[in-house]
């Protein structure tokens, strides 16, 4: 009898519930780290977090403080690393300065944290006899290579100091697996999004910036023409991958594995999906019949972005829409330039020059993750956007 991937995942969770392990999550107060912490706490695991709150937030782990052990400290401090890995089974190393623009501004600090911090933690973990060290690697290592799909065999070509530093971390992980007696696995994440991703930092990622801008009725800024594509991955998939990478019995030591959805969307698609999650679209026939878009979540449009008070008649702005995104010349409620029902004003993005160090297209081959980890996409892009928008809306009303 063959068992499905989801059954495999359930089996691993059941084993962990029966026999809890002890986990160190570095960067546990950050976006991805806090989602991992939440899952591990839910599985009754012993969890230790190491974070210096440089980009993470206390509020991200506040709900779990009673169930976790917290070390406030820096991964560049060898003594802190030694304390943090004591009696740990699995290290999930998420701590890093995780921003391309920041690394362009200050490459030295990015390299100190992301390279030397990782080396110090690896050294401590090897000495402490940690069972496995899972490293949050980055798809930025691939750079902007003209291949439709990125698989792990491609020669890395980092474009920014951030990408170079994350790649150096991978190489150190490989070296420690090869010759320092520590099993390591590197998971190359591709554009992760979801609850707790910070929309406020000047280095914030695109999805929290777009969602909060649209919710607040501001125009989100697109760097470039918006046709650049990404393999946007809802964070629950990365959480699952970390647990699988730590616990799998397959020979994963020293491996680098892509973690993504294996589908790509442009920034214009992303804006549409966010608009749709906020205000579900009409069918085309209803739109043709002249019905205006209605935000049906509350029947009264309260989730629709508050927009400028400029009434727009049906038909206005359509030419621009069809030129930009190729949509038909009927009102398209899921275009980035959606006409919002009761308010009747589209929110258009602002376009700014493309940023240095950004790649044009990014799409992952996830077959190795499937094969080695039994990984599967648990939450796809559209469902992930819905959950994320719902989280930001809930946070706004708190
Ligand atoms: N978010 C993505 O799309 C993405 C993509 C590829 C790889 N990654 C990697 O995933 C990891 C997590 O990223 P994130 O998006 O959650 O970022 P984040 O900034 O939300 O989390 C990083 C955490 O590390 C902590 N940290 C930073 N420097 C530290 C130090 N010197 N000592 C201790 N803690 C420190 C921060 O305070 C923060 O809590 C990073 O390693 C990042 O490079 C993220």
- Of the listed ranges 8-22, 246-260, 311-325, the one predicted with least confidence: 311-325
278 — pLDDT class (breaks 50, 70, 90): confident
Pairing of strands 68-72, 229-230: unpaired
- The predicted model gives 135-154 an average pLDDT of 94
Q: Is residue 182 part of a domain?
A: yes
- The predicted model gives 103-129 an average pLDDT of 98
Pocket test for ligand 1, best of 25, 27, 31 (most atoms within 8 A of CB): 27
Which residues span the domain enclosing 26? 7-191+233-262+361-380
pLDDT of residue 18: 94
Q: Is residue 322 part of a domain?
A: no
Q: Is residue 304 part of a domain?
A: no
What's the number of CA atoms in the CB half-sphere (13 Å) around residue 14? 6
**What CATH number is associated with residue 185?**
3.40.50.720
Q: Residue 304: is its pLDDT beyond 70? A: no
Residue 80 Cα to ligand 1 middle (Å)? 18
Model pLDDT for residues 77-104, shown as the tens digit of each residue: 999 999 999 999 999 999 999 999 999 9
Residue 98 Cα to ligand 1 middle (Å)? 5
pLDDT of residue 284: 42
- Of the listed ranges 154-158, 171-175, 322-326, the one predicted with least confidence: 322-326
Q: Write b or e for each residue in 26-57: b if 16 or more Cβ atoms lie within 10 A of its Cβ, otherwise e.
A: bbbbbbbbbbbbbbbbebebbbbbbbbeebbb
Q: Residue 305: is its pLDDT beyond 70? A: no
Q: Residue 184: is its pLDDT beyond 60? A: yes
Q: Is residue 44 part of a domain?
A: yes
Q: Which atom belonging to ligand 1 lies closest to the Cα atom of 30?
A: 39
Q: Is residue 168 part of a domain?
A: yes
Number of domain units in the chain? 1
Q: Is residue 88 part of a domain?
A: yes
Model pLDDT for residues 17-74, shown as the tens digit of each residue: 999 999 999 999 999 999 999 999 999 999 999 999 999 999 999 999 999 999 999 9
pLDDT of residue 346: 47
pLDDT of residue 355: 84
Q: Residue 307: is its pLDDT beyond 50? A: no
pLDDT of residue 279: 77
Provide the strand spans (E) within 115-266: 132-138, 184-189, 192-193, 221-223, 229-230, 233-234, 255-259, 265-266
If we measure between CA atoms, which residue out of 175, 156, 176 comes closest to residue 166? 156
Q: Is residue 268 part of a domain?
A: no
- The predicted model gives 304-324 an average pLDDT of 35
If we measure between CA atoms, which residue out of 78, 164, 177 comes closest to residue 121? 78
């Amino acid at each position: 009898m063959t068992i499905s991937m989801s059954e495999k995942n359930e089996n691993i969770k059941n084993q962990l519930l029966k026999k809890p392990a002890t986990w160190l999550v570095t960067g546990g107060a950050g976006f991805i780290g806090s989602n991992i912490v939440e899952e591990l706490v839910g599985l009754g695991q012993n969890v230790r977090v190491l974070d210096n709150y440089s980009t993470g937030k206390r509020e991200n782990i506040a709900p779990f403080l009673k169930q976790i052990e917290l070390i406030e400290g820096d991964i560049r401090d060898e003594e802190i690393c030694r304390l943090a890995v004591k009696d740990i089974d699995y290290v999930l190393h998420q701590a890093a300065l995780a921003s391309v623009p920041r690394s362009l501004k200050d490459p030295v600090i990015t390299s100190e944290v992301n390279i030397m911090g990782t080396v110090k933690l690896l050294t401590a973990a090897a000495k402490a006899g940690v069972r496995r060290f899972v490293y949050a690697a980055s798809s930025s290592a691939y750079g902007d290579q003209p291949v439709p799909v990125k698989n792990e065999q491609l020669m890395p070509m980092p474009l920014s100091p951030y990408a170079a530093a994350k790649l150096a971390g991978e190489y150190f992980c490989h070296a420690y697996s090869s010759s320092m007696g520590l099993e390591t696995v590197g998971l190359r994440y591709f554009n992760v999004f979801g609850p707790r991703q910070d929309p406020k930092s000047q280095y914030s990622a695109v999805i929290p910036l777009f969602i909060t801008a649209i919710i607040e009725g501001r125009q989100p800024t697109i760097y470039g023409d918006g046709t650049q594509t990404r393999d946007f991955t809802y964070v629950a998939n990365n959480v699952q991958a970390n647990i699988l990478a730590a616990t799998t019995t397959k020979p994963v030591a020293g491996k680098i594995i892509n973690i993504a959805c294996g589908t790509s969307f442009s920034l214009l698609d992303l804006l549409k999906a966010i608009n749709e999650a906020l205000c579900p679209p009409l069918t085309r026939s209803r739109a043709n019949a002249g019905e205006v878009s209605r935000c049906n979540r509350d029947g009264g449009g309260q989730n629709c972005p508050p927009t400028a008070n400029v009434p727009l008649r049906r038909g206005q702005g359509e030419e621009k829409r069809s030129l930009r995104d190729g949509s038909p010349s009927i009102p398209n409620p899921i275009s980035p330039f959606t006409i919002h029902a009761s308010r009747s004003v589209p929110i258009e993005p602002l376009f700014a020059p493309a940023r240095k160090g950004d790649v044009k297209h990014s799409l992952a081959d996830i077959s190795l993750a499937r094969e080695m980890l039994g990984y599967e996409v648990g939450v796809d892009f559209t469902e992930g956007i819905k959950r994320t928008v719902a989280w930001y809306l809930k946070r706004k009303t708190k």
